Structures are given as structure tokens and as C-alpha cells.
Structure 1
Amino acid sequence: MQASPIQTAQGQTGQASALAPFRYPAFRAIWTANLFSNIGAMIQSVGAAWLMTELTDSHVLVALVQASATIPILLLGLFAGAIADNFDRRRVMLAAQTGMLVVSAILATLSYTGNVGPWSLLALTLMVGMGTALNGPAWQASVRLQVGRADLPQAISLNAISFNLARSVGPALGGILISLWSTSLAFALNAVSYIGMIVVLMLWRPVATPPRREPMLAAIVRGLRFCAASPPILKVLARGLLIGFGAAGLQALMPSIARDMLHGTELDYGLMLGGFGVGSILTAFRISKVRQRFGSEAVVTAATVIFAAALVLMASATSIPMAVAATFLGGMGWASTMTSLNVAMQLRSPEDILGRCLSIYQAITFGGMALGAWVWGALADATSLETALHGAAIWLIASLAMHFIAPMPTREEGRIDSVPAR
């Protein structure tokens, strides 16, 4: 029987090298396609956020563009996790990617014809968020099918680097394209960017145990019971909720900061997002070794302090370079935290309910971000952007109490080591 064009490497012993996952053909192909898809998503994110600043003066509505991408993860995440565990994860990702392509194409058409308003923009970005919610658990759970178990932490870090590479290039590119043409081009390019991932997924034929089907509600309850009964996972979920809520202060308000605080353009906003991405990339390359040496708790605590410092610096920013420096710090804190939390969840979740465990993690973390986007946006409307940024920084510093109440799990605490390497 002829081999599929994209196969997962078999019979290789995982190594601790940061680039070891690239030895696997499936990981290489999916990582590359995902990079271009992420660039398209970041271009669209810049377009949607900046378009909202042109459609309304409300800081809340501008912040809700960010929240619209994360609210579906909160509302639909548990169902998405059960779907990822009950069905072929590759097919789930194909369905989600195709749906996001269609919605992005509709958004491009409406923007080009001038028929998009604040609420239709939110509705369509919400629909893209629904696709992200469906795709997320299946995507993250499929990493185990692409690399050996020993290379899993490095693969997770490389996936974070892919996203943050896109976050470095995409925003500046998006700002340039919007200034040269219009937001409709940003939305159209995002629609095109899904094609590569769809093709790669159609060619990929992973070797996986067929999923055991369970009734949807029973599957969700099983995942919730496991997470609720696992003290290490509860610690991770608590940190994700608290940090996500505070981190939203920087990410959701960034378009308003560029426009109202700094009187910048769409290109300036793209540069600010690019600074966030560069900080994330430089951190993601080294964070695995730092975590191995000092432990997850030390990394998450330091990252929280760094992100709080970024918020304070942004609140006092008087120029675009100063704002880019703040977002660079924010990117360092974000990558350190999110990579550490994701690895902690993956290593403590059984394979047969991995999608549900990751969906619970995503629902809580990104649900915290969605709620934070609304709270900090409302506070900015009621007071000022500077006050909202300082409030988010104070929240993150207060969350450091978890260092004493519920520290991150130690290296061997709660680990699941029953999954064979592929």
C-alpha cells in the first residue's frame, strides 16, 4: 500500500532539542501551513480591530472585537472538546477550517461593498471565533499524533512560535495593506490563507486509535469530572483564568491605545502587535529549557510580573517606540505563561479525553480573556485607558497570591505517562 504524502515519523526516539519535532514530516507540513494560516488570521485581526475604530468611538465595542474571538471558546469549548474526542480530529479540523474560510470570504465581500457595520462586524468575527473554538481542542490534541511523546513539549513551543512569528509579521503587513487598499483586502487574504491548511489536512493520514463514541453530555461530564478531581489540573486552570483576565487589558485595548492615546495609524497599531509577537518568539525558543531548570511555578510567576510591568509601561507611553517596548514585554510574559500552562495540561490529561481537558483549559483561560476585555473596555469608557491599564496590572500582581495558595504542579505531579510515542 502506497504511503500517504504526509505521514507521521515512526520509530524515532524523541530528543530534547528545541527543533527535534521538525524531524517528523507531518509536523513540518502542518506547522508550515499553520504559519501561513496564522499570518492570515493576524492580518484579519488587525483589519477587524481597526475597522471597528472607524465605525465607532466606543472603547467597549473596540475591545469586543478581541472578545468576539474568545467568547465562542468559552461558550462552545466544552462541546468542541467532546467532538474532538468522539470524532476523527483531522476531519474536525477540516470542517472548522472550511467554515472559517467561508465566513472570512463573506466578511471581505461585505467590507469591499461598504455593507458592514459595528454589529455585523462583531457577528462575523464571532462566527470566525466559533470556528476557532471548534478547531482548537482537535488541533492541540492532534500534536500527539504528529511527534513522539518526548518531543511533545518542544512541539508545543514550536506551535507557539508559529503563532508568534505570524504575530510579528502579520500585524505590520496588515497595517500596510489596509493603508494601501482597505480592510477588505485583509479579510480576503485571510480567507485564502486557510487553503494551505485544508490541503495539508486532506493529505495527512495519521495512525490513531479510532475514537470511542460517547453521548455528548456524558462525554462532557466525564471530562469535567476528571479535571475537577485532579488537583494539578485545577491549579493550571486557576492560573489560566486569572492571568487571562488581566492580560486582556493590554491585548483588547491596544487598538484604542494606538488611536486615542498615541494618535497613531493602522500601521502603528500593526507595529505594536508586531512587538508583542517578537517578544513572544524570542521567549518561546528558550522557555522549555528555562522551565526545565527552574520549574513551571517560577516561570509563570516571573511572566506574570513581566506582563504587569508591560501594562504599567503602556499606561505611561507617550510614543509609538515606547508602546512597542511595552508590547514586547507583554509578548515575553504571554508566551512564557501560555506555553507553560499548555504543556502542564497536555502532560496531565489522558489521551482518550485529551480534547475535553484542553477544551476546558481553553474555555476557562479564553473565557477569562473575554470577560477581561469587556471589563477593561468598560473601565476605559468610564474613566480612561490609563486607568484601565493600571487596573489590569494591579489584578495581575494580586494574582501572584496563587504562588502560595495553589502553585503550579511540580514536574512529576499528576503526569500521565501511558501514551506511547508515535
Structure 2
Amino acid sequence: MADGPDTAPARSGMMATGGTLAPFGYPAFRAIWIANLVSNLGSMIQAVAAAWLMTDLTKSHVLIALVQASATLPIMAFGVFAGAIADNFDRRRVMLAAQIGMLVVSAILTFVSWAGAITPWSLLGFTLMVGIGTALNAPAWQASVRAQVGRRDLPQAISLNTIAFNLARSVGPALGGLLISIWSVTLAFGLNALSYTLLIVVLLRWKPQLSAPAREPMLASIAAGIRFSAGSSPLRRVLLRGFCLGFGFAAYSALLPVIVRNRLHGNEIDYGLMLGAFGIASIVSALFVSNLRRRIGSEAVVGAGTLAFTIGYLILLNAATIPMALPAAFVAGSGWVMALTSINVAVQMRAPENILGRCMSLYQAITFGGMALGAWSWGTVSEHTTIPVTLALAGGWLMTSLVILRLFAPMPVRGEGVAAE
């Protein structure tokens, strides 16, 4: 699995450079992609189990929504520190530390669940700790993609990583719902703990030939990343778009458990099917979003994705049964990938290598911070109004922000602010 000595990793010659599947020609990318798929599958199974378990433990919409918020809040709170760590230390080792930490936390959660000692607040504590591991892992993982593929194949690699996540999102929820219904949430938590092991083994074997990063004091390193991002007009605009999208998208995932259980009168399997439909649509969209972006530009793709997600909200707030709600999941899943993948690519292509981890961490912190704030906000709104009103307001936020930001914070055009190789 070792890469060659150049900055462009060795290829196996499987596929033409620049093609949709070209990144699979790089052995390191291929192995990490497969292992990451398994890890994401376990994470989705655990997420379904945690969200559904919380509906058993409490009737509070806020606490149920906080399951989603607790998984993303650490990315906002610790993301910038994680980015500095990714740029100052060996990114492979940072990922290893994060994966091992999440394995330990998930194993403890499995034991506590098996012992019947889980409470709403302890469940939130465990999901928060897994979120901290995700916050540490994310910038190092995002920044390491350049060490796995050539620069020309980077957008395709990002799309394929999105496919891996959404393939897990398609299969994992349905599998998680099935496991919960025939066994218990404990089995779901245990399988997630095991899912980290393959990625840990692959990372131990991966030996990229990269120069050691130049270390800086932590606060100075963070300040340099913030200073660059604040001074770059294209990055500032992209980060603002990421926050607004994250805030608006959050109502869907945060409130879906209570929607399925209380409004649609569904069970664990129905909840898994809704998430699975979301993931399937995400995979289909990820296959063509790179080509679509090249043809019509990032602004048009982000706009189409935002509109699609809003339509998903409209379908969901009018649905009375699971079959009526499934189209909402398909439409929203397509919109999710079209918008957020375009934001991700825009950041990666405009960040210099030496501060890439910090720029990616700011993107993660701002976008997922928007999701965490949105999950709490929409949960609070639904507690004091109704689910349909909340979904309508979330859709209104998305469309209003889209119109305003197209005027005052447009997506960068092709070539604008692109970092030199």
C-alpha cells in the first residue's frame, strides 16, 4: 500500500486519469475507501440505534434533536484545533488516534447499554465523545486525500468518498433498524465498535512518502489558518454558504426520528428505510455531480441542491404515511450531496497544502456547527409549535438564504482563488 516518493501517489493504471472512477486506480485510495465504507456503515448503525433509543428514553423533542447535535457540536467546538493538529503532525497518526479513541468509546457504550444503565444524558455524553473523535479525524482525513490521489483526480476522489458515506447511509440505517427490531441497540453499538478495526489496520499499513510537516505553536498555527481564510474572499463566501446550508439542512436529520415515530406511526425498520432512501439518492447524485458542476458551475449546482432539499421538506410536512414520505428522502438526499459536495470541493481546491488541514477544519467547524445549532434550534421550535411548521420554516430559511447569498456571497467561479500545486 505504500505510495511512491512523489507528491502524486502511485497509480496501478486501472482507469484513465480524470474519469469518475479514476481514484480507484490508486491502491492507497482504494484500500482506505473500502475500510472507510465499513467504518461509516458501523457509524450509521450506531446513529440509528442512538436516535431511536432516545425516543424510548424520553418524549422531549429537544433531547431527541440533541442526539444529532451532540454528534456534530464537537466539530464546531474543536474543529479549528483539529485542523492545526492535522497540519502540524503526521495526518495518518492523527487518524489512527481518532479511530482508536472512537473504538474505545463505542465499546464502553456497548457495555453500558448491555448492563441496562443507559440514560438520556449518558447517551448524549457518549455521542458527544464519538463526535470529538470525528472532529479530530475529519480535517486529517479530508486533507490526506491529496496524498492518496493525483491533483487532477481530487474532485472525483471527494465525490467517491461522498459515495462511500452515502452507501453506508443507504445500507446502514435499514440494517440498524432490523438489528434493533430483532435484537437490541446493544448489538448495533457493538458492531460499530468492531467496524473501526479495519480502518485502523489499513492506516497502520499505509506509509505515504511525505515530508514531515513544519510545526508551529498551536495558537499561532490556528491563527494562520483563520487569517488566510478570512483574507480570501472566495473562501469566506464558501464558508458562509456552508453554515447557512448546514443550519437549514439540520431539521431533517434532527427531527426525523420523532416524525417517523409520532407523525408517520412507523417503527425502527421504517426509520431505517427513510434514512436508506436518503442515502441511495445521495449515491446517485454523487455519481454525476462532478460532471454537472463542470458543465453549469458550482453556483447552479448549490442552488439546485438547496431547492431539492426544500422540496423534500414540503413533501415530508404533507406526508401521512411512510410510503408518502419516502419521496421526500430521495429528493432531500440528492439535494444534500449536490450542495455540500460542491462546498467541499470549493474549499479543497482553494487551500494551500501547508494549511489545508486548518482550512478544512474551518469548513467542518462552520458547516457542522451550523448543523448543531440548527438541530437545537429546530428541535426547540418544534417543541413550541408543530413539526409541519418547523419543516416549513427550515425550507423558508434555505430559500431565503439562497436568494440573498447568490447576490452577496456567490460561489467562486472556475479558477477563482484556486491554490497553486
| TM-score grouping bracket, smaller chain normalisation | over 0.9
Q: Partners in 1 of 2:362 and 2:277 — Cα distance?
A: 30
Q: Partners in 2 of 1:235 and 1:321 — Cα distance?
A: 38
What is the aligned counterpart of 2:180 among 156, 163, 178?
A: 178
Residue 420 of structure 2 corresponds to which residue in structure 1? 417
Structure 1: segments with no counterpart, 5+ residues: none
- Asked whether 1:402 is paired with 2:405, we answer yes
Residue 125 of structure 2 corresponds to which residue in structure 1? 123
Q: Does the residue aligned with 1:179 lie in a helix, a strand or coil?
A: helix
Q: Does the residue aligned with 1:142 lie in a helix, a strand or coil?
A: helix
Deviation of residue 235 (structure 1)? Answer: 0.9
Residue 74 of structure 1 corresponds to which residue in structure 2? 76
Return the letter of the residue paired with 2:351.
S
Q: Does the residue aligned with 1:160 lie in a helix, a strand or coil?
A: helix
Deviation of residue 417 (structure 1)? Answer: 2.5
Q: Is the 8 A contact 1:348 1:414 kept in 2?
A: yes
What is the aligned counterpart of 1:65 among 61, 64, 67?
A: 67
Residue 45 of structure 2 corresponds to which residue in structure 1? 43
Residue 23 of structure 1 corresponds to which residue in structure 2? 25
Q: Does the residue aligned with 2:59 lie in a helix, a strand or coil?
A: coil
Q: Does the residue aligned with 2:351 lie in a helix, a strand or coil?
A: coil
Q: Is the 8 A contact 1:39 1:169 kept in 2?
A: yes
Residue 241 of structure 1 corresponds to which residue in structure 2? 243
Residue 339 of structure 1 corresponds to which residue in structure 2? 341
Q: Partners in 2 of 1:272 and 1:6 — Cα distance?
A: 43
Task: State TM-score, norm by structure 1.
Answer: 0.97
Q: Is the 8 A contact 2:156 2:290 kept in 1?
A: yes
Q: Partners in 1 of 2:372 and 2:312 — Cα distance?
A: 20
Paired residues for 1:10-409 under 5 Å: 15-400=17-402, 401-409=404-412
Q: Partners in 2 of 1:105 and 1:19 — Cα distance?
A: 35
Deviations 1:247-266 (A, max 9, x none): 00111111011111111101
Q: Partners in 1 of 2:86 and 2:390 — Cα distance?
A: 37
Q: Partners in 1 of 2:176 and 2:230 — Cα distance?
A: 42
Q: Partners in 2 of 1:55 and 1:289 — Cα distance?
A: 45
Q: Partners in 2 of 1:16 and 1:385 — Cα distance?
A: 44
Structure 2: segments with no counterpart, 5+ residues: none
Deviation of residue 5 (structure 1)? Answer: 9.5
Q: Is the 8 A contact 1:5 1:203 kept in 2?
A: no
Q: Is the 8 A contact 1:283 1:332 kept in 2?
A: yes
Deviation of residue 404 (structure 1)? Answer: 1.3
Return the letter of the residue paired with 1:407.
P
Return the letter of the residue paired with 2:10.
A
Return the letter of the residue paired with 1:9.
A
Deviation of residue 11 (structure 1)? Answer: 9.6
Deviation of residue 10 (structure 1)? Answer: 5.2
Deviations 1:260-305 (A, max 9, x none): 1111101100000001101100000000000000000000011111
Q: Against the structure 1 CA distance between its residues 222 and 11, is the aligned structure 2 distance closer, same or farther, given a 3 Å change threshold?
A: farther
Identity %: 61
Q: Is the 8 A contact 2:280 2:330 kept in 1?
A: yes
Q: Partners in 2 of 1:382 and 1:288 — Cα distance?
A: 41
Q: Does the residue aligned with 2:175 lie in a helix, a strand or coil?
A: helix
Q: Is the 8 A contact 1:246 1:372 kept in 2?
A: yes
Deviating more after overlay: 381-390 vs 292-301: 381-390
Q: Against the structure 1 CA distance between its residues 389 and 15, is the aligned structure 2 distance closer, same or farther, given a 3 Å change threshold?
A: same
Deviations 1:102-142 (A, max 9, x none): 00011111111110000000000000000000000000000
Deviations 1:346-373 (A, max 9, x none): 0000000000000000000000000000
Deviation of residue 209 (structure 1)? Answer: 1.8
Deviation of residue 207 (structure 1)? Answer: 1.4
Return the letter of the residue paired with 1:402.
L
User: How many residue pairs end up in the alignment?
Assistant: 416
Q: Is the 8 A contact 1:14 1:149 kept in 2?
A: no
Q: Is the 8 A contact 2:12 2:27 kept in 1?
A: no
Task: State TM-score, norm by structure 2.
Answer: 0.97
